[in-house]
Amino acid sequence: MAFRSKEMMKKIMKKIGGEKNLGPGVKESLKKCVPDSKVVMGRAHRGIFAGRHIQFGNRVSEDGGNKTRRNWKPNVQEKRLFSYILDRHIRVKVTTHALRCIDKAGGIDEYLLKTPYHKMDTEMGLFWKAKIEKMYEELGEMEVVFFSPEDEAKFEEGFKELKLAERAARRDARRQMYGWSGKQKQIEQGVEDTDGEGLHSDVPEQLIANC
């Protein structure tokens, strides 16, 4: 169990050196960015829980109405979520409620961009939100270029040729690694020959020599 909003503000003020070093209106803007939740689970710092944390209550028996203390823990799952801004998968621990919120928003990027800072109650959520917002601003400043259908077709052909070249290079590397001999190449050339020589002429001679 850790961080309250007041404790976070105290830590920030200590690092800054007190309220004297702050300009006018900076403290109010900091309070808006600090989560306003009272208690956050310790393991929630390493994931996105969307406000779902441990709860405490009583277990009441049916016979005598005896009460015993108990707790309810959130349903936490480890998922790989794809980020279009980062162009890769993010492995993160999320609650099932957070997954529904992400699906409703349209993805992890939209969820982090739409959720305000004071509702993002975990350190990991604040980190990913700040990072994606920065990258989103950088993408907005980039120039967009549109290509004609002919250029797109040329690009597709170039990518296909590049994939074929990479596949051939991997095949050659595997052959050199596992000691591939030139006999298979000779067999392939013999099959491709149209004159009927090569493989078909060598096989009977080898059989006669073995006999």
CATH number at 89 reads 2.30.170.40
- Check: CB of residue 102 under 8 Å from CB of residue 64: no
Last residue of a domain, one of 141, 167, 182: 141
Q: How far is Cα 130 from Cα 123, in angstroms, rounded to an integer?
A: 11
- 166: phi then psi, degrees, rounded to nearest 5: -65, -40
Does 124 lie in the same domain as 41?
A: yes
- Provide the pairing of β-strand 55-60 with 67-72: antiparallel
Considering the domain architecture, whether residues 40 and 118 belong to the same structural domain is answered as yes
Does 9 fall in a domain? no
Same domain, yes or no, for 162 and 180? yes
Give the per-residue pLDDT at 52.
82
Question: Token pair for residue 7?
Answer: 């404790």
Pair 49, 74: CB distance under 8 Å: yes
Average pLDDT along the chain: 76
What is the predicted pLDDT for the residue at 26?
66
Domain of 204 in residue numbering reads as 149-210
d(CA 39, CA 46): 15
Give the number of other Cβ atoms within 10 Å of residue 146's Cβ: 6
Any bridge partners for residue 76, and if so which? 95
Query: What are the CA-CA distances from residue 59 to residues 9, 41, 56, 64, 68 (Å)?
Result: 36, 22, 10, 12, 5
pLDDT at 1: 36
- pLDDT given at position 61: 93
End of a domain among 102, 122, 141? 141
pLDDT attached to residue 34: 62
* Alpha carbon distance 5, 130 (integer Å): 18
What residue ranges of the chain have pLDDT lower than 70? 1-9, 12-13, 15-16, 18-27, 29-41, 144-145, 180-211
pLDDT score recorded for residue 149 = 84
* Angle at CA of residue 140, ends 83 and 154, nearest 5°: 75
Count of structural domains, the chain: 2
CB atoms within 10 A of CB 130: 14
pTM for the predicted model, two decimal places: 0.51
In angstroms, the Cα distances linking 119 to 34, 56, 102, 135, 182 are: 9, 22, 14, 21, 66
Asked if the structure places residue 159 within a domain, the reply is yes
Residues 122 and 154 placed together within one structural domain of the fold: no
